[in-house]
A and B are shown apart, each in its own frame.
Chain A
Amino acid sequence: MPGKVFAVVVAIITLVIAYCVIAHVWWMPVDVSVHGPKIDHQIEETLFGAGILFIAGQLVLASFAFLYGDSKGARKMKAFPGGAKSLIVFACVVVGVEILVLSFVGSKAWASVYFTPPDPDSLRVDVQAGQFAFYFRYPGPDGKFGPLHPELINETTQNYFGLDPEHDADAKDDIVTAGLAIPVNKPVLLTLHSKDMGHSFDVRELRIQQDFVPGIVIPIHFTANQTGKFEIVCTQLCGLGHYNMKAYLEVMSQADYDNWLKQQAAMQ
């Protein structure tokens, strides 16, 4: 009796989970990046393959619990035919093949983010993460970023990056903003650096997540193919304000972006 109850409970749990996944009760937000479909495809493939194994495993467990309760001598014991051999073969072959396929195809998705060089015409934006805000820096008309001086960082005077426009010519026209705006369908190259702790740049809709590592400048590039306003959230524990550390990514038409940048430049 308990075996049959166990089987039913496991079966119900399995079906509920399968339903939640197939019906996308909780699902990824719309993807707005050029490389995103590869990642989404990978996730879906994995859900399919792993999902089958999940359902099969749980239902096999459930059916054995259902069928093989203590019969008090009424039923003879049976050894599993072939012993462990078929199980080992199954694990090695089926799981092995699944692993190979996922790795091989998945490496392409990974490569599309990390192994394709950025477009030479990319819009470059420097991103700084610090406890507990993101700041962004555009190079301005000269196309160059001024050098950073950490000892000059001053929140009160809003010198978040530690720029020295008086002595560094390249820093004079740098535009510092609290939000990230980019034109749609234009390659963007971000350079991530941290002011203090480990942080992370995560935009779900872009399918981009990259840690900031103090001491290193990390490049990440993408192209957004839909306009909209998307949340940038910090996903690497950085202190008490971690939960509240966020900014917005706005993907705009080229014209809107140009206007926005002009306004930001005027506010420097």
Chain B
Amino acid sequence: MHDMSAHAAAHHAPPSGFIRKYVFSVDHKVIGIQYTTLSLVAAFIGMALSWVMRIHLGWPAASIPFLGTLSPNGAPGGVPTPEYYLSLMTMHGTIMAFFVLTAAPMAGYGNFMLPIQVGAADMAFPRLNMASFWVTFVGFVLACATFIIPDGPPISGWTAYAPLSAVGQVAGPGQGRGQDLWVLSIALFCVASLLGALNFIVTTIDLRTKGMTLSRLPLSTWAWFINAWVSLLAFAVLLPTGLLLLLDRVGGTSFFIPGGLVVNDKLLPHSGGSPLLFQHLFWFFGHPEVYIIILPAFGIVAHLMPTFTRKPLVGGWKVITFAMIAIGSLSFLVWGHHMFVSGMSPSMAMVFSVPTLIITIPSVIGVLVFAFSLYGANIRFTTPMLFCLGFISLFISGGIGGFFLAQPAVDSYLHATSFVVGHFHFTMGLSAIFATFAGFYYWFPKMWGRMMNETLGKVHFWLSFVLVYCVFMTMHLMGLTGAVRRYSSYVADFMVPQIPTNRFMTVAALLLGATQFIFLYNAIWSRFKGPKAADNPWGATTLEWDTTSPPPFDNFGGRQMTIHHGPMEYDADASVMQTSPAKSIAGT
């Protein structure tokens, strides 16, 4: 018979000392907070980069305050050079996609909540977990370091297509040490993600408490579990891709570099490689990556909504879970839709287009489940709920763009336009961020034992919701004119008249950025001064709400948690905790 407290004492005594408690901690709760904090810092850095980009696009000759001092090479006199703009763009994408969107909803919340939600005292491999975070941290430091080396960050985009990314310094500024550091940073992120995925999978399979069958798992746990599988397979492909790129750059190999290239008047010594090979390998990871970003968002919304609609999701746990499994699996079959005009065989275009369109079906099912779960409900419009509703609207908007881009004939016009930029910002940027915010406001009381301010939260929501449409829907629509993306300035004849619209987007984007400081202020102030939170302030049912806020060291204070119900036992004002032996309401 295992006595919980003895167990805890034997294997997992609470640490003492500042370093063991808050720095090199094996406690999944601390690690979750570390990831979340890293993402927050990364998010503001990524946003700041986008502000500089947007100001430059609207006012190309303008001198941006402080920029000249921060970066005399990149922005002499405060005016970004073309290569500096591209390096900001590259790092904006890299930092946001990896260190914010892949980290926060999965590694941040998942690490904190998953063990608690399955009823475990910690992750299956706590030390591996700690290693994952610190490897991510080093990766992030390397990414930031690209800004302070003399040559600056790489300019090849977060997609780092060869040969631009592969030939080395000869390709110009940023393509020397900056690109090397970038590859290393990403490689470390891959390793950390793989270890993290391993931990999530083993914990979900092996460490569930008594009565926690798979059918009773909270939907956020399901999402993290499915996502861990997708991450495992996808990052396992990105890692070698990065290694091959590094070999081309420093090892003299020619995986991705063909012969006969003349760069900067030099005939390069490479031969026989294929730039398309890089694209295939990158996008084999890259497309699942966007689902790695959105699946936890689905999970968060699926988890939160029943709390605030006071009823189960339509279809119970099965429909949304199978939709997520379908999305995760199909995501590996569609990567070629990024390559329709890449020179890949045109027959392959149709081969990839069909699964790309098919993946719409489980996504639509997911959106419909969310929307129709509002039917007949008694919705409590708290800040987390508002962000969930915002998620649904934003995901519909972004998803619709997918119908266009999935068709090769249409994509041949819309490829590389701002339509694509609008599309992916809506789907992986804004929807995922809104779901992340929902999770932040929802789980803040549990993580820090205090409530965030509801008024500030609502202001944050309303301003953000309207402003994101102003910025990114305009971008979508401008794409219909064929407006080209990744331009550091608009000198093309047809794009010069679009500069005023760009200024509108810039102003909206800056206001949107400013709005996030309301959130930051709220988070920091509430962390220290917010009203103390009860164990279960939202009236929810899952295990994290069945313990103190914040949870004790071993998550449940030595209690034996036995599960009797699924996670969606709600009815108007009533709800039944998963551990309660009381009768089921919804029969889930």
| A–B contact at 8 Å CB threshold (below) | yes
**Cβ-neighbour of A2 out of B173, B310, B381, B490 (below 8 A):** B381
Pairwise interchain contact A6-B82, C-beta atoms closer than 8 A: no
Given known contacts A49-B403, A114-B346, A39 and B410 CB-to-CB distance under 8 angstroms: yes
Pairwise interchain contact A64-B371, C-beta atoms closer than 8 A: yes
B564 lies within 8 A of chain A by Cβ:
no
Given known contacts A103-B407, A155-B265, A58 and B396 CB-to-CB distance under 8 angstroms: yes
Pairwise interchain contact B386-A211, C-beta atoms closer than 8 A: no
Which bucket holds chain A's interface residue count? 35 or more
Which residues of chain A have C-beta atoms less than 8 A from B82's C-beta?
Answer: 240-244
Which residues of chain B have C-beta atoms less than 8 A from A84's C-beta?
Answer: 314-316, 319, 365, 369, 372
Q: Closest CB-CB distance, B55 to chain A, in whole Å?
A: 16
Closest to A203 in B: B482
Please list the 9 inter-chain residue pairs (A to B) with the smallest Cβ-Cβ separation, ordered nearest first. A215-B258, A78-B376, A84-B315, A109-B409, A114-B346, A64-B374, A204-B482, A2-B381, A235-B416
Pairwise interchain contact B342-A211, C-beta atoms closer than 8 A: yes
Bound CA span A6–B319, Å = 27
Pairwise interchain contact B374-A71, C-beta atoms closer than 8 A: no
A213 lies within 8 A of chain B by Cβ:
yes
Pairwise interchain contact A42-B409, C-beta atoms closer than 8 A: yes
Bound CA span A58–B462, Å = 17
Q: Closest CB-CB distance, B126 to chain A, in whole Å?
A: 38
Which residues of chain B have C-beta atoms less than 8 A from A65's C-beta?
Answer: 374, 379, 389
B150 lies within 8 A of chain A by Cβ:
no
Bound CA span A198–B279, Å = 11
B478 lies within 8 A of chain A by Cβ:
yes
Pairwise interchain contact A25-B310, C-beta atoms closer than 8 A: no
Which bucket holds chain B's interface residue count? 35 or more
Given known contacts A26-B478, A38-B409, A2 and B343 CB-to-CB distance under 8 angstroms: no
- Can you list 18 contacts pairing A with B, beta carbon distance less than 8 Å? A28-B482, A39-B410, A57-B371, A58-B396, A77-B571, A77-B572, A84-B369, A88-B365, A99-B357, A99-B361, A110-B350, A202-B416, A213-B343, A214-B163, A237-B156, A242-B486, A243-B489, A244-B491
Closest to B260 in A: A150
Which residues of chain A have C-beta atoms less than 8 A from B315's C-beta?
Answer: 83-84, 87-88
B480 lies within 8 A of chain A by Cβ:
yes
B253 lies within 8 A of chain A by Cβ:
no
Q: Interface-forming stretch among A89-97, A117-125, A249-257, A260-268? A: A89-97
B122 lies within 8 A of chain A by Cβ:
no
Residues on A lying within 8 angstroms of B by beta carbon are 1-3, 5-6, 9-10, 13, 17, 20-21, 25-29, 38-39, 42-43, 46, 49-51, 53-54, 57-58, 60-61, 64-65, 68-73, 75-80, 83-84, 87-88, 90-92, 95-96, 98-99, 102-103, 106-107, 109-110, 113-115, 130-131, 150-151, 153-155, 162, 195-198, 200, 202, 204, 207-216, 218, 231, 233, 235-244, 246
Pairwise interchain contact B375-A68, C-beta atoms closer than 8 A: yes
Which residues of chain A have C-beta atoms less than 8 A from B480's C-beta?
Answer: 21, 26-28
Which residues of chain B have C-beta atoms less than 8 A from A26's C-beta?
Answer: 477-478, 480-481
Bound CA span A263–B275, Å = 38
B521 lies within 8 A of chain A by Cβ:
no
Bound CA span A113–B494, Å = 25
Pairwise interchain contact B353-A103, C-beta atoms closer than 8 A: yes
Given known contacts A27-B481, A83-B314, A54 and B172 CB-to-CB distance under 8 angstroms: no
List 11 additional contacts besides A13-B469, A50-B400, A58-B397; criterion CB under 8 Å: A1-B381, A9-B465, A27-B481, A53-B400, A79-B314, A91-B365, A150-B262, A211-B343, A215-B275, A231-B494, A239-B164
Bound CA span A103–B349, Å = 11
Q: Closest CB-CB distance, A147 to chain B, in whole Å?
A: 12
